[in-house]
Each structure stands twice: as C-alpha cells, then as structure tokens.
Amino acid sequence: MAFDRYVAICNPLRYSIIMSKMVYVLMASASWLSGGINSIVQTSLAMQLPFCGNNIINHFTCEILAVLKLACADISLNIITMVISNMVFLVLPLLVIFFSYVSILYTILRMNSAAGRHKAFSTCSAHLTVVIIFYGTIFFMYAKPKSQDLTEDKMQTSDKLISLFYGVVTPMLNPIIYSLRNKDVKAAVKYLMNRKLN
C-alpha cells in the first residue's frame, strides 16, 4: 500500500505502467508465500520441542510466544528464527513504508496547489492510520523488552489484550478506516449524525 501511494503521488503519470496487474499479483503472492513459509518454519520448530507442565496455553490464541513458554528445552533456535522473522516481517516493511512516506512528503511539500496537497495528504491518511495501529501493537508484542516491574499476571493480561487488538480489532477497523474516505459513506455518516442530533 505504501508503494502504491508512493507511485500514485510521486509518479502519477506512470502509475498505470508501474502498478500493473502483474505487479499486484507478484506483491500479493510474495507476501502470502513468505508469510506461509515463516509460519511453517516457526510451527515446525515449535513442534519439535518437548513440553512439560500442565500444557495449558494462557492466551486467547495459540500465539507462538505463549507456546514457547511451555517448552522445557532450549528454545534459542526458536528465538533466533523469531528475531530474523521480526527483522524481515516487521523492520524491513516498516523501513519501506517510512522511506515511501518520506518521498511522498517531499513531493507533497513541493506542490504549489493547497488543494493538491490536501488531496495527497488525505490519500495517505487512512493507510498511515492503519500502519500506526497495526505496527504499534505488533512491535509492542514482539519487540518489547521483558520488564522486571510487571508481575507475570499483568504481563499475560497485557499480552492477551495486545494480541486481541492486532489480531481482531485492527482488521475490523480496516474497512471502517478505508471506507470513511468514500464520499457516499461520509455523506451517510453525516446524515446519521444529524438525524441523531435532531
């Protein structure tokens, strides 16, 4: 999405050439394939571990971090693969998004028309909102330092809530955030708000 916004704003005349159907298919296929491979690697490494204790996952979902807490063997290989996947799936895309938006911001600020700047900013606002919500919760979940101040119960509760937020709330907000850019949806929301106020 950041690359799409970058091409639309920084190279608008070449948009249809650069963002062809083949490019969309390749980008979607690469993300699905790499995500699938990462899941297979993480799952197969976790399945090889011996588990001890009551084997009850104290979580809403079968989150990899919750599963690894049950292991009674060395999980250093799992941690190494998780760090690598965090770099590939969190840091790298965030860098691409960051540099795309730096270029977009530079292009927008060079525009002469205030209406053009406003339209360009509004084009990016929905995507930036989703990126901030999604990456903020993901980074908090997978890249946070383990604090000594929090008790185990408080950490488990916060982990559950964060997992619920990025796994359920963020995908649920996506259609709402993106549809609020639609003129018909805006008009319907204004109509409903005015009707409730009157």
Q: What is the pLDDT of residues 158-180, one digit of tens each?
A: 777 777 777 777 778 777 777 76
Asked whether the whole model's pTM tops 0.85, one would answer: no
Cα separation values, 143 from 4, 43, 70, 94, 180, Å: 27, 19, 20, 13, 31
Q: Is the pLDDT of residue 4 over 90?
A: no
Provide mean pLDDT across the span 43-55. Answer: 85
Q: What is the pLDDT of residues 51-88, one digit of tens each?
A: 887 777 766 677 787 788 888 888 999 989 988 988 88
User: pLDDT band for position 154 (50/70/90)?
Assistant: low
User: What is the DSSP code (8-state) at residue 20?
Assistant: -
> Within 13 A of 63's CA, how many CA atoms are on the CB side?
20
Cα separation values, 140 from 49, 176, 183, Å: 26, 23, 34
